[in-house]
Structure 1
């Protein structure tokens, strides 16, 4: 297996949500330059990053995640902000977030714990649900999240959707889209 190939479990986003986020990026892309804008098919909320996963652990994690989510129902989420990670003036990541929803944290814990049980060593950082939309700000002037939020117009419009599936994705570095769905389990 290619050492640049990684796997991760993520909350699957509906096509209309991906389109909604993409429409926002089209409004802000020229004024707020980033080195890489993600393909709309790559939008997701990561629940557990597995890294370079051996087949046996991957199979076991699929089985355990499917069992952990077998009684879980779908639930509503609302996109409500755009934020950044990294330096305020030259951020590394531009993301869209959701309103706090405890069900999302429950699903993430179930997936995370199933992957630990399968034998993966996972990142212990606090779960911060987000949808990465761009990487590495390359503007000449310092970045302004306030200007971006005003331009994106999120305050005047919202977008709600139903979270109804969790997917295991495989990365394909250099491809666009970069993520391939390997396995999907629906939420009831």
Structure 2
């Protein structure tokens, strides 16, 4: 559900897609032994799994209405993408991820369009190369082995194909305290689903950087 609480003066923001619940449940089932075997990993909540298209960083809350308008219009014209979850890997032995399979060319085009739209709103951000993945867990600094071991166990995982449903504008609490990272939808829009004048937001969060 979209959070209607008052916005702070600044927000840490990104634009994302998310797998449907059954695709996430499939991967979560495969991860069950790892959840039990590696309890010290900081596992992301399944409802927070997402594919980041553009990480915008800390923005003034006044930038959000511009983003909402631009992204709503782009979502209407974007057909669903055929994607899937595949395998696993890690960044710097501390961040565990599952990879993305399927229409990667279409995904890269969509991400480029989204980033161009963000710039057209006058928002400057660090334009990192797109590396499509779901972040699953983070290791503590004194644990250099758990993440590579779980990644190796995911090598043969191939999830069922699925179609993207919504474009999500997401806020996070990174840097706002010692607790786990949490995400919430600022707004979400169904891809290609609205007719003229029907840019209504879709309900839900990226069930699931």
Range class of TM-score, shorter chain: 0.7 to 0.9
- Residue 37 of structure 1: aligned partner: 43
Correspondence list, 1:102-113, <5 A? 102-113=105-116
User: Given that residues 84 and 160 in structure 2 are in contact (C-alpha distance below 8 angstroms), is that contact kept between their aligned partners in structure 1?
Assistant: yes
CA pair 151-59 structure 1, distance change in 2 beyond 3 A: same
Matching residue of 1:122: 125
Q: CA deviation at 1:170?
A: 1.4
Deviations 1:32-54 (A, max 9, x none): 45541001110000111222222
Partner Cα distance (1:83, 1:184) in 2: 28
Partner of 1:25: 31
Gaps of at least 5 residues in structure 2 are: 1-7, 193-209
Whether contact under 8 Å (2:96, 2:151) holds in the other structure is no
CA distance in 2, matches of 1:63, 1:177: 27
Counterpart in the other structure of 1:67: 73
Deviation for aligned residue 1:117: 1.2
Report how many aligned residue pairs link the two structures: 181
Q: Assess if the C-alpha contact under 8 Å between 1:34 and 1:135 holds in 2.
A: no
Shift in Å at residue 139 of structure 1? Answer: 7.0
Take 2:71 and 2:143, find their aligned partners in 1: how far apart are those partners? 44
- The answer to whether the 8 Å contact 2:95/2:147 transfers is no
Pick from 16, 36, 39 the counterpart of residue 22 of structure 2.
16
Structure 2 SS opposite 1:6: strand
Greater share of strand: 1
Q: CA deviation at 1:103?
A: 1.0
Kindly report the root-mean-square deviation, in angstroms, between the aligned alpha carbons of the 2 structures: 2.5
1:107 and 1:48 mapped to 2: Cα distance? Answer: 10
How far 1:167 sits from its partner (Å)? 0.5
**What TM-score results when the alignment is normalised by the length of structure 1?**
0.82
Q: Could you tell me how far 1:13 is from its partner in structure 2?
A: 2.1
| Contact 1:47-1:108 within 8 A present in 2 as well | yes
- Aligned equivalents of 2:136 and 2:22: distance in 1? 15
1:165 is matched with 166
CA distance in 1, matches of 2:185, 2:29: 23
TM-score by length of 2: 0.75
Whether the aligned pair in 2 keeps the contact of 1:72 and 1:187 (CA below 8 Å) is: yes
CA separation in 1, counterparts of 2:91 and 2:117?
A: 27
Q: CA contact under 8 A between 1:95 and 1:131: conserved in structure 2?
A: yes
